[in-house]
Amino acid sequence: MKRFSELIQQLETSNKTNDKIAALVDYFSNADDRDKPYVIAMFTGKKPKRPVNTVLLRSWATELSGIPPWLFQESYSSVGDLSETIALVLPPPEKITDRKLHEWIKDLAALTGKPDEQKKSFILDAWNSLDTPERFIFNKLISGNFRIGVSHKMLVNALAKQSDTDSNKIMHSIMGKWQPEAITYEELIEGAHVNTDNSWPYPFCLAYALEMQPEELGDVNDWQAEWKWDGIRGQIVKRNGELFIWSRGEELVTDQFPELQFLKDELEDGTVLDGEILSIKDGNVQVFSILQQRLNRKTINKSQLNDAPVGFYIYDLLEYETQDVREKTMSERRTLLEEIVSKLQTKDVALLSPIITFNSWAKLAEIRQGSREMNSEGIMLKRKDSLYHSGRKRGDWWKWKINPYTVDTVMIYAQKGSGRRANFYTDYTFAVRDGEKLITVAKAYSGLTDKEIKEVDSFVKRNSLEKFGPVRTVKPELVFEIAFEGIAESKRHKAGLALRFPRILRWRKDKKAEEINTLEDLRQLLNSTLS
């Protein structure tokens, strides 16, 4: 595990992509072969089953370090990461072990189902034989949440470089279904498992935000415009009689959407569709907050099926009659796609995402103004002769989003951040005015520069009114303009409504707390989206 611990430290102490790739290449060239598939699994978010829950880990660590639970909590608030907090509060190790990463992982997996006492003695013994950086990794192996600033793309690039293999092939290979204990590094790189695997998805083709004037894109006839739908991007794979639905987060969500199961019978084998999972009722796309009721549920009841019926707007065709058609132009793919959709027996559930007809950029801009009425986020522009790229590629696909909603708020609470920002007040809660009172409407922790964060941090330290654990009540003085994508009714929030994707648009140093928006302003907005 020492070699892996070294890799993690190298990845963490550099913010340059090239250095990180070099560290990864170096690791995959020298590490134990049996460790490698586990590391790839970890970096691609393949979580093993948690053998021990975090409540137990916390209590054992607290007990072993001889500190009261509240002090452990304070430490955790300051560190911002549970695995790291545990690694740091424990007394120094009394012995040294040098075991391989895969040995640790296997032993941990074997703990599942064992009595707590047995788990405890194993974990405590491990803690007592590892140094702080290794303990941190060991704890991460248990919790399975290893987020280390290595994107899939970066990992794939490193593996491609190390093995001198095409990166698309590796992306396919590592995104498929495989178990680290049942595959060798070589097999994984060669993609030995993917041909026999019916489920593997293609990497999504992603769009960049349009930051120029659309006129600069040239002739309108070269472009296809569609609505940019606000749902869950999904890929539907039908091969050898099986149906799989993948989300953009590379999770299989097949069972969550019974409405789409008919595609298993109606799509030909060897068909892969790219589209958006949406709630569609009476032919209209509903707002995201309605679809949200359907997400990540183990069971779905009748009223949910009735209130938030799910449909699929199809954007593109990736595989046709078992052939990868991503190298065909979009116009060609669209023709094939239209043929497929026309053959479906079940109508009005899986639909073609409509094409917007327009003859000038000015006309399209006008149409775009109506996005909100369609419950769409704006317009997608795709070059008619574009291929279906893996990942993001500048130039062929653009998202031309409408401007977000905004509201002026005042900061009332601040909390220290986590991770990189654990010692600065970076997480803020914002309020609008409701008569004489201030009422919380959003929490946000992004959108400021490091310099501004330091400035706000210093304000918080000087203007704290009360402490509630890690949270500070702050004098309501700093005004921030918050941008958000949507608004929904919410019984859980005091304000009776919730903002979607709130983030700080800018710090309004020019405004006073008296000038912020009111709750009534937001209620009016909410009513306008529901009608």
Residue span binding other proteins (CB under 8 A) among the ranges 8-16, 283-291, 327-335, 385-393:
8-16
Among the options 120, 228, 238, 416, which is catalytic? 228
Query: Of 65 and 473, which CB lies nearer to other proteins in the complex structure?
Result: 65
Q: Among residues 13, 118, 360, 406, which is the contact residue for other proteins, using CB under 8 A?
A: 13
CA distance linking residue 20 with residue 31, whole number of Å: 16
Residue 296, interface with other proteins (CB under 8 A)? no
To other proteins, the closest distance from the beta carbon of 52 in angstroms equals: 21
DSSP symbol at 515: G
Task: Centre a 10 Å sphere on the Cβ of residue 264 and count the other Cβ atoms it contains.
Answer: 14
Based on CB atoms, which residue is closest to other proteins, 65 or 184? 65
- For 402, the token pair is 């409408």
Give the footprint of other proteins on residues 457-476 (CB under 8 A): 467
Binding-residue total with other proteins (CB under 8 A): 30
Q: What distance in Å separates the CA atoms of residue 54 and residue 82, rounded to the nearest whole number?
A: 8
User: Between 175 and 456, whose beta carbon lies closer to other proteins?
Assistant: 456
Q: Does 162 engage in binding with other proteins (CB under 8 A)?
A: no
Q: How far apart are CA 212 and CA 81, in angstroms?
A: 40
Residue 341 tokens read as 């959709």
Q: Which stretch binds other proteins (CB under 8 A): 69-77, 170-178, 191-199, 284-292?
A: 69-77
Calpha distance 187→193 (Å, rounded): 7
> What is the phi/psi pair of residue 239, to 5°?
-140, 140
Q: Hunting for tokens 């094409």 — which residue is that?
A: 355
Whether 509 is catalytic = no
Pick 51 or 133: Cβ nearer other proteins? 133
Distance, in Å, from the CA atom of 193 to the CA atom of 271, rounded to the nearest integer, reads: 19
- Sign of the CA dihedral 460, 461, 463, 469? positive
Segment 147-153 long-range contacts (CB within 8 Å, at least 24 positions apart)? 148/8, 148/11, 148/12, 148/43, 149/11, 149/12, 149/20, 150/11, 150/20, 150/24, 150/43, 152/43, 152/44, 152/250, 153/391
Q: What is the DSSP letter of 389?
A: -
What is d(CA 431, CA 143) in angstroms, rounded to the nearest whole number?
35
Question: How far apart (Å, rounded) are the C-alpha atoms in residues 407 and 390?
Answer: 37
Residues present in the chain in total: 531
CB of 5 to other proteins, least distance (A): 13
Q: Does 422 bind other proteins (CB under 8 A)?
A: yes
Could you tell me which stretch among 68-76, 105-113, 242-250, 268-276 binds other proteins (CB under 8 A)?
A: 68-76
| Cα distance between residue 406 and residue 391, in whole Å | 30
Query: Site for other proteins (CB under 8 A): which residue of 17, 65, 145, 490?
Result: 65
User: Footprint of other proteins on residues 119-148 (CB under 8 A)?
Assistant: 136
- Token pair, residue 88, equals 């740091």
71 binds other proteins (CB under 8 A): yes
Q: Closer CB to other proteins, residue 388 or residue 424?
A: 424
DSSP one-letter code for 518:
B
| Interface segment toward other proteins; rule CB under 8 A; list 139-147, 361-369, 416-424, 437-445 | 416-424
Q: Interacting stretch for other proteins, rule CB under 8 A, among 9-17, 307-315, 366-374, 473-481?
A: 9-17
What DSSP designation does 473 have?
Answer: E
Please spell the DSSP secondary structure of 237-302, one letter per residue.
Answer: EEETTEEEEEETTS-B-GGG-GGGTTHHHHSPSSEEEEEEEEEEETTEEPPHHHHHTTTT-S---H
Q: Which of 423, 446, 524, 528 binds other proteins (CB under 8 A)?
A: 423
Beta carbon nearer to other proteins, 92 or 241: 92
Q: Is 420 in the site for other proteins (CB under 8 A)?
A: yes
Cβ nearer to other proteins, comparing 56 with 422:
422
Q: 3-class DSSP state for residue 132?
A: helix
Compose the 374-413 pattern: x for residues touching other proteins by CB under 8 A, - for all others: ----------------------------------------
Nearer to other proteins, 15 or 195 (CB): 15
Determine if 25 is a binding residue for other proteins (CB under 8 A): no
Stretch that binds other proteins, among 12-20, 168-176, 359-367, 511-519 (CB under 8 A): 12-20
Q: Which of 50, 99, 421, 506 binds other proteins (CB under 8 A)?
A: 421
Residues numbered 72-101 forming contacts with other proteins, rule: CB under 8 A: 74-75, 78-81, 84-85, 88-89, 92
Instruction: Give the per-residue contact string, 315-354, with other proteins (x = CB under 8 A; - = no).
Output: ----------------------------------------
The answer to whether 24 contacts other proteins (rule: CB under 8 A) is no
Catalytic residues: 228
Binding site for other proteins (CB under 8 A): 12-15, 65, 67-68, 70-71, 74-75, 78-81, 84-85, 88-89, 92, 136, 417-424, 467
